[in-house]
Amino acid sequence: MSQEGEQKYNAVIMEIRAGVGGEEAALFASDLSRMYTRFAQFKGWKVNTLDCSKTEIGGIKDTTIEISGEGAYELLENEAGVHRVQRIPATEKQGRIHTSTATVAVLAKPTATEVNIRPQDIRSETYKASGAGGQYVNKRMSAIRIIHIPTGEVVTCQTERSLQQNKESALSILAARILSKQKKELEKQIGGARRAQIGTAMREEKMRTYNFPQDRVTDHRINKSWHDIESIMDGKIDKMVKNLSEGLKQG
C-alpha cells in the first residue's frame, strides 16, 4: 500500500536480486526482470537498465531498472518482496522440481528537489566495467562505485559506456534509496525500505509463488491464484497487479 501521501510518483527504481537457489535463482531473477520490462512496454512506459550483473549462462545476479510512466509507482509498489519459483531447471537431469527465490525492491524515484546529495557527502571510485565471467566490456575506467558517507549506502553502475552516464545512473539509484529510507524513518516503520521489502530471501519468506508444474501463480498476501503462467512471465500481469491492489485495500 502506498505511504506517499499526496505525492504522486511516475518513476520507480526497481532492484531485482537472485536469492536462494544458485544459478536457477539467477535465471529466475532474469525472468522477473523481463516480466516487468514487458509489462512496462505494454503500458507504454519507458524502461532503462541502470545496472546489471549477469551470470555466464544468462542469469542475473542483480539488476536495477528505472521504469517511468503515468502511475508506475502506484501499480508496481506492491511487487516488492520475495518471489519464489517452483519448476524443473533446464540443468536438472533427473526431472526434479527445484525451489528458488529472487527479491524485488521498488523505490520511488525522487524529484530533483526532494533529495539533496552534497558532493562532499559522497566518495567515488572508478574501475573497468566487466561482464559475465570477468571479461572486460571495455578497457576504459567507465564503471563507478559511489559511497554515500552519511548513510553508508553503496551504489555501483557499469552498464553505460561513459563514466558520466554511469555516474548519473548511480546518483539516481542513490537518491531513490535515500528517499525511501527517509520516508520509512519518518513513519517509524521497519527500518530501511529495501530491508523491509526484500526480507532475507529465504524460501519461507515469500509473497508470491510461481509454480510452473501446476501452471499457477499465487499471491500469498491476498490468497489468490492466476493461471497461464507463460503469459504472466511474458509481462501480462495487469489483471494480477490490479487484483492485488484491490485486495490489499480491502484487507
The yes-or-no verdict on residue 197 having pLDDT over 80 is no
Residues of the chain within CATH 3.30.70.1660 domain(s) are 11-110+191-250
Q: Which residue has the cell 489468490?
A: 224
- Give the pLDDT of residue 190: 41
pLDDT for the residue numbered 198: 62
Residue 33: its H or E element: helix 22-43
Mean per-residue pLDDT over the chain, rounded: 85
* Whole-number Å distance between alpha carbons of 37 and 67: 8
Write down the pTM of the prediction: 0.79
> What cell numbers appear for 31 in the block?
525472468
Which band of pLDDT confidence, cut at 50, 70 and 90, is reported for residue 148? very high
- Which of the residue ranges 22-36, 159-173, 210-224 would you say has the lowest mean pLDDT? 159-173
pLDDT band at 136 (very low <50, low <70, confident <90, very high): very low
- Judge whether residue 132 has pLDDT over 70: no
Q: Could you give the CA distance from residue 209 to residue 199 in angstroms, rounded to a whole number?
A: 15
Determine the pLDDT at residue 76.
Answer: 94
Q: What pLDDT does 226 receive?
A: 96
pLDDT of residue 199: 62
Nearest to 91, CA basis, from 157, 140, 23: 23
User: For residue 250, what pLDDT band results from cuts at 50, 70 and 90?
Assistant: confident
Mean pLDDT for 70-74 is 91
Q: What is the DSSP letter of 110?
A: P
CATH architecture of 119-187: 2-Layer Sandwich (3.30)
Q: Please count the other Cβ atoms lying within 10 Å of the Cβ belonging to residue 154.
A: 14
Q: Could you tell me where in the chain the CATH 3.30.160.20 domains are found?
A: 119-187
Is pLDDT above 80 for 240?
Answer: yes
pLDDT at 94: 85
Which pairs with CB-CB distance under 8 Å and at least 24 residues apart come from 39-42?
Answer: 39/235, 39/236, 39/237, 39/238, 39/241, 40/67, 40/69, 40/72, 40/235, 41/235, 42/235, 42/236, 42/238
For the four alpha carbons of 65, 58, 41 and 168, in that order, the dihedral sign comes to: positive
Mean pLDDT of 54-59: 89
CATH tag for 11-110+191-250 (out of 3.40.50.720, 3.30.540.10, 3.30.70.920, 3.30.70.1660): 3.30.70.1660
The answer, yes or no, to whether residue 238 has pLDDT greater than 80, is yes
Instruction: Indicate the pLDDT class of residue 61, thresholds 50, 70 and 90.
Output: very high
pLDDT of 214 > 90? The answer is yes
